[in-house]
Amino acid sequence: EGGFPKAETLKRIKELKGCSIDWLLTGEGEPFPEQQTQAAHDTLGNPVNTEDFVYVPRYAIEAAAGHGSLVANEKPMFTMAFRKDWINSMISPEVSGLSVISVKGDSMEGVLNDGDTILVQQMNHIRRDGLYVLRINDNLLVKRLQLMPGNVVNVISANEAYPSFEIRLDS
């Protein structure tokens, strides 16, 4: 009573729980050394290192490829894994916020289709011509942006049924 457990008791704990006998006796080291790295596998059953991935929040938000879609709830549903080396090759270093959302509508049909899932890099400026998700009030729109002379951005849909429009950046 109050002393050390018997060797048979320690052995039984190790067998049942996988706990280190050294840790049970001394409190030093790791209690479950075999469980230090979480085993993960790809869809083909190949082992993967979870530290090679970035986990990006997936929101139940739709960026409208057409008319604006109200952003009602910005709490993530879950996260999606992307390889760190791929993210680093695609994302500029000054931007940290990433999220995954869906495309809704047909204004970008052929480029981004209704229901497509997109990785969004959050920023407050336009670096160059390309595809962007714009937040206008409580609406998100996914469009092609083209920088024009005079501090103007041309907002273009892939579907010709949706007219282009301009946004002045200095207003």
- In contact, 139 and 71? CB cutoff 8 Å: yes
Whether residues 100 and 144 fall in one domain: yes
| Residue-number span of the structural domain to which 96 is assigned | 53-168
- Which of 153, 163, 104 minimizes the C-alpha distance to 130? 153
Whether residues 18 and 93 fall in one domain: no
- Which of 34, 31, 19, 27 minimizes the C-alpha distance to 9? 19
Whether residues 159 and 120 fall in one domain: yes
Each residue's pLDDT, cut to its tens digit, for the chain (171 residues) gives 566 778 888 788 877 777 887 877 777 877 777 655 557 888 898 888 888 888 899 988 887 776 555 555 577 889 999 988 888 888 766 556 888 999 999 999 999 999 999 999 888 888 889 999 988 877 888 999 999 998 899 999 999 999 999 999 876
Examine residue 108 and state whether it is found in any structural domain, yes or no.
Answer: yes
Examine residue 21 and state whether it is found in any structural domain, yes or no.
Answer: yes
- Which of 94, 44, 12, 136 minimizes the C-alpha distance to 153? 136
Domain of 112, CATH number, reads 2.10.109.10
How high is the pLDDT of residue 36?
53
Examine residue 42 and state whether it is found in any structural domain, yes or no.
Answer: no
Q: What is the pTM of this model?
A: 0.67
How high is the pLDDT of residue 71?
53
How high is the pLDDT of residue 90?
82
How high is the pLDDT of residue 35?
56
How high is the pLDDT of residue 37?
53
Examine residue 121 and state whether it is found in any structural domain, yes or no.
Answer: yes
Distance between CA 75 and CA 61 in Å, rounded? 9
Structural domain tally of the chain? 2
